[in-house]
Amino acid sequence: MTARVLGVLNVTPDSFSDGGLHDTVEAAVAHGTALAAAGADIVDVGGESTRPGADRVPETEELRRTLPVVRALADRGIAVGIDTMRAPVAEAALAAGAVLVNDVSGGLADPRMAALVAATDAGWVLTHWRGPSATMDDRAVYDDVVAEVRAELLDRVDVAVAAGVRPDRIVLDPGFGFAKRAHHDVALLAGLHTLVATGFPVLAGTSRKRFVGSLTGRSVAVDRDAGTLATVVLAVQQGVWGVRVHAVAPARDAIRVVAAVCAQDAVAGGCGRCVPKVRAW
């Protein structure tokens, strides 16, 4: 099985890359449908920006933004994820047809999330997180970022499993850009195989992130898709379960090419470049 593609659908006025482009139900549903048609396995709907420095929005506003979109996409047969740190928002979205909770706080922002996921048996992306967006840059201090992110994520897994979440419903995300400087993100990208080696599916959410801009000199987020594709290739070569991207079709093409090369490597006995895939959620 090749890596899965999660298409980013921000129903927000202030997300760092596409804020304001899809902040009506009609525009969001149209874009989500287009993402699915372009090859997204899951359309990931978010109603609260988690860009660096962002403040929280009220729960009622997050629900207002996301629920009609989740329901409309699910009614069209599209697999939908809900990008939220709030258990009540996740619960409502799951009831509306979502199949995956993408929690960028890894369950830390709302301690009720683990019980909800356990009760619903939804998939749960646990992201590495050290604090809210407004202050997360102050927490970007590491001696060994790969080892520390791995250990902190596995701590979150222990909490989730203790709450009754099935291990095979958990996906790990190293949290590119969340309490990370550019050199931390580069180290994590190079070390994704360390997370893959835990046996849990791994999601790489590198799309248009600040570190891609710092490496390419692209200050405008939408100009970072070529750099993002390089990160997709590097992630898939290391055996990640999925990638989360704004530009779905190019990512899908890149994954097909990597899959073909990895298959040829296997026929030839392997060169160590491609890591075998872990179990898929």
Q: What residue ranges in the chain does DSSP mark as E strands? A: 4-10, 42-46, 80-83, 100-103, 123-127, 170-173, 203-204, 242-245
What is the spatial distance between Cα 38 and Cα 275, in angstroms, rounded to a whole number? 26
Catalytic residue among 71, 169, 208, 209: 209
Partners of 170 in beta bridges: 124
What is the spatial distance between Cα 18 and Cα 169, in angstroms, rounded to a whole number? 29
State yes or no: is 209 an active-site residue.
Answer: yes
- DSSP class of 85: S
- DSSP class of 259: H
State yes or no: is 256 an active-site residue.
Answer: no
φ, ψ for residue 170 (rounded to 5)? -100, 135
> How many other CB atoms sit within 10 Å of the CB of residue 242?
25
Q: What residue ranges in 149-279 does DSSP mark as E strands? A: 170-173, 203-204, 242-245
Catalytic residue among 150, 208, 224, 244: 244
Say whether 97 sits in a helix, a strand or coil.
coil
Single out the residue of 222, 223, 245 nearest to residue 41, CA to CA.
245
Q: Which residues contact 183 (CB under 8 A, 6 or more apart)?
A: none
Is the separation of the CB atoms in 194 and 188 below 8 Å? no
Active site residues: 209, 244
